[in-house]
Amino acid sequence: MQVLDRLETPVSVTTDQADGAVSLHLAGRFSLGDLTALHGALMQAATAGPFLVDLSGVTRLDTAAAWAIAEADAKATAAGHSMQITGASADSAALIQTVRDALPNPDTPPAKPMTLALWLDGYGRSVMGAVSFLMQLLGFLGLFLSRLARALRHPSEFRLTALVHHCHEVGLKAVPIVALMAFLIGIVLAFQGSTQLKQFGAEVFVVDLIAVSILRELGILLTAIIVAGRTASAFTAAIGSMKMREEIDAMRTLGIDPAAALIVPRVLALLLMLPILGMIANAAGLFGGALMSWVELGISPAMFQSRLIEGTDVSHLMVGMIKAPFFAIIIGVVGCHAGMQVGNNAESLGQKTSAAVVTAIFSVIVIDALFSIFFAQVGI
Amino acid sequence: MTVATDPTPVIRLRGIRNQFGSHVVHDGLDLDVYRGEILGVVGGSGTGKSVLLRSIAGLQRPVAGEIEVLGTDVRAASEAERIALERRWGVMFQDGALFSSLNVRENVEVPMRAVEGLDPALRRAMADLKISMSGLPYLAGDKYPSELSGGMRKRAGLARALALDPEIVFLDEPTAGLDPIGAADFDTLIRQLSDTMGLTVFLVTHDLDTLHAICDRIAVLAEKKVLVTGTMDEMLRVDHPWVHDYFHGPRARAALTAKDAQKGS
């Protein structure tokens, strides 16, 4: 059958030199795999002198072979020789002509040398990019606050259903993972603390260690990190896919303000839910710590409780919880902002989602560090 | 117009049955496509034009029936036979389906990477040639799919489909979403490539202008099978109500007039 020939007919390129004229005889069904050999033979002939290409044995010429012939012709002409084609079928000749017409003529722009000025230029641009990103985030925060203020002035415009829905998504659904995480952290702290404090016979101080570190720092910080991973990505993906499908543009044309409809309920839900999640994390962490102290050090729950109440001031809890709204706002604003930056291709959705998570977690840690410095300075 | 001379069909479908759950799309569908022809497949929305294309290209496994492409039974082919066969056809998806992480040249190079013994510099040059043959400007090779317009993405998709000089190309709605001038250019390009490279073209379309301008034969999908095949003139004489409405509707008449006007000039 004719269709199988292509795989079976071997391709041959033979060169001979009869009475001083070089001629190349091509035969067989050409395919892309034969290009390297054919191109090499033709280029060699083209640099040597005038030559003749005999296509009478060719059963099928593909574009690759036609391209090699057209290239060889161009090269021979440039070197001042001539190339002749004989025995080409009508199809082959037409194909060579088509390829010749389509030969890309490169008009590559000259490569710019890497100078110090260009290097500085690149740096300047990335610094300005970072600054403008921060300005955009700030602008976004302002947008959220102004829309929130308007919602307070016109409560009828406020989307309560959306708020409840997002509270359910970012709050209630995050409870199991946050509680489990904090419980395990409590266990780890108790275990690590007890092995160290045992050396000094100060086992009972493990209660202070657990209470202070969880209430002040770890409970809310780790909750915020988990929420940043979970919720910032969800906000970016949800708003970004709406942006991609032009739903946000549609909202604008229908007179719905995307900031009021999408951003306010989401950030507000986070603002309400993150302190609650933080409290749950604190409770679960203390519970885990108490459990491990009991098992490992024999500190009974009652003793843990009394030690906790007399040894740990409530200000530690305040120091921890005051950070929650700041974390909530930065996570929500970063997530929603990244969603609004998504372009109209799926690739940017993925990029922005992972960028949102990284930025949110990073910002949470930066804010936490700033608070630590602040509290150390004011002496709480 | 070229008339198919080869009597053995390059694509031969017999008794194809496709169904999704209880929804039967094709039932007892037969179709032959001959070497070197451009076959236009038309049908109402939901008649399974794209499903048919996907079945032939091996992306969708029919529940029953025979699919023979270039002498190979697609359904019974071994892994090696399938790979050999896939190199002999190219598929252009509706929006180009370019890999978004690669630029246009790299996209066209993807199928060429499987060819053994091909020098990377030559591969690049061949990719540039295919890009240029598809009517894209030379510098388009360095662009990423997200930077291209819809029409350019389609052309880049065509360049990738043609990368290995296939014998058959499957085109899914090649002119959908293009402006009339772009669509007409694309039609000319397909006809020209088909003529010079001896391509067999399997074309799913809604575009009546395309059907008039470049298709040698038309197959109408209706009632879960290929209702009728034939040239445009034959289609105009079919008196099945849907076919009649399709080819005699106001848009069809406009396309016909446009074609007559083109012939006259």
Maximal CA-CA distance, chain B: 56
The CATH homologous superfamily to which domain A2-102 belongs is: STAS domain (3.30.750.24)
Q: Give dist(CA A340, CA A237) in Å, integer.
A: 10
Written as six digits, the tokens of B231 are 């040239």
Q: Cβ contact (<8 Å) for B119 and A39?
A: yes
Q: Cβ contact (<8 Å) for B71 and A4?
A: yes
Q: Give dist(CA A166, CA A231) in Å, integer.
A: 10
β-bridge pairing B200-204 and B38-43: parallel
Beta-bridge mates of residue B90: B169
Q: Give dist(CA A279, CA A281) in Å, integer.
A: 5
Given a cut of 70, whether residue A38 has pLDDT beyond it is: yes
Q: Cβ contact (<8 Å) for A63 and B133?
A: yes
Which of A6, A37, A99 is closest, CB to CB, to B129? A99
Q: Cβ contact (<8 Å) for B100 and A347?
A: yes
- Find chain A residues with C-beta within 8 A of B10's C-beta: 3
pLDDT in tens, A159-215: 889 999 999 999 999 999 999 999 999 999 999 998 888 888 888 888 999 999 999
Q: Give dist(CA A339, CA A349) in Å, integer.
A: 8
Task: Quote the minimal CA–CA distance from A91 to chain B in Å.
Answer: 7
Q: Give dist(CA B43, CA A261) in Å, integer.
A: 42
- Find chain A residues with C-beta within 8 A of B129's C-beta: 63, 67, 99, 102-104
Q: What H or E segment, with its residue span, contains residue A168?
A: helix A160-170
Q: How far apart are the first and last CA of chain A?
A: 90
Q: Cβ contact (<8 Å) for B146 and A103?
A: no
Q: Cβ contact (<8 Å) for A104 and B138?
A: yes
Q: Cβ contact (<8 Å) for B119 and A36?
A: yes
Identify the residue among A32, A35, A75 best suited for mutation to test binding to B, counting B beta carbons within 10 A and taking the highest: A32
Beta-bridge mates of residue B67: B13
Alpha helix (H) ranges present in chain B?
A: 49-56, 79-86, 104-112, 120-133, 150-161, 180-197, 208-214, 232-237, 241-248, 250-264
Contact indicator for B107, B160 with CB cutoff of 8 Å: yes
Confidence (pTM) = 0.69
- Find chain A residues with C-beta within 8 A of B128's C-beta: 104
From the CB of residue B199, how many other CB atoms can be counted at a distance below 10 Å?
24
Contacts of residue A309, defined as CB under 8 A and 6 or more positions apart, other chains included, come to: none
pLDDT in tens, A280-305: 999 999 999 999 999 988 889 999 99
For chain A, where do the domains classified as CATH 3.30.750.24 start and end? 2-102
Written as six digits, the tokens of A65 are 């072979």
Looking at this predicted complex, what is its ipTM?
0.78
Contact indicator for A231, A272 with CB cutoff of 8 Å: no
Q: Give dist(CA B29, CA B31) in Å, integer.
A: 7
Q: How far apart are the first and last CA of chain B?
A: 18
- Find chain B residues with C-beta within 8 A of A39's C-beta: 119, 122
Which of A33, A62, A105 is closest, CB to CB, to B117? A33
Q: What integer pLDDT is reported at residue A1 of this predicted model?
A: 34
Which of A2, A104, A348 is closest, CB to CB, to B128? A104
Q: Give dist(CA B204, CA B211) in Å, integer.
A: 10
Question: Which of the listed ranges A39-43, A128-132, A198-202, B205-209 does the model predict with the highest average pLDDT?
Answer: A128-132
Q: What integer pLDDT is reported at residue A166 of this predicted model?
A: 95
Task: Quote the minimal CA–CA distance from B166 to chain A in Å.
Answer: 9
Task: Quote the minimal CA–CA distance from A98 to chain B in Å.
Answer: 7
Which chain A residue has the Cα nearest residue B122? A36
Task: Quote the minimal CA–CA distance from B108 to chain A in Å.
Answer: 13
Q: Cβ contact (<8 Å) for B146 and A99?
A: no
Given a cut of 90, whether residue A372 has pLDDT beyond it is: yes
Distance of CA A66 to the CA centre of its chain: 43
Identify the residue among B116, B138, B158, B196 best suited for mutation to test binding to A, counting A beta carbons within 10 A and taking the highest: B196
Residue B40 backbone dihedrals phi, psi, to 5 degrees: -100, 130
pLDDT in tens, chain B (265 residues): 444 455 678 888 888 888 888 888 888 888 888 888 889 998 888 788 888 888 888 888 888 888 888 888 888 888 888 888 888 888 888 887 888 888 898 998 888 888 877 888 888 888 888 888 888 887 788 888 888 888 888 888 988 988 888 888 998 888 887 888 888 888 888 888 888 778 889 989 888 888 888 888 888 888 888 888 888 888 888 888 888 888 888 777 777 777 777 665 5
Which residues of A lie inside 8 Å of B (Cβ-Cβ)?
Answer: 1-4, 6-7, 31-33, 35-37, 39, 62-64, 67, 71, 91, 94-95, 98-99, 102-107, 343-348
Task: Quote the minimal CA–CA distance from A272 to chain B in Å.
Answer: 39
Q: Cβ contact (<8 Å) for B126 and A347?
A: no
Q: What integer pLDDT is reported at residue A130 of this predicted model?
A: 93
* Percent of chain A residues topping a pLDDT of 70: 94
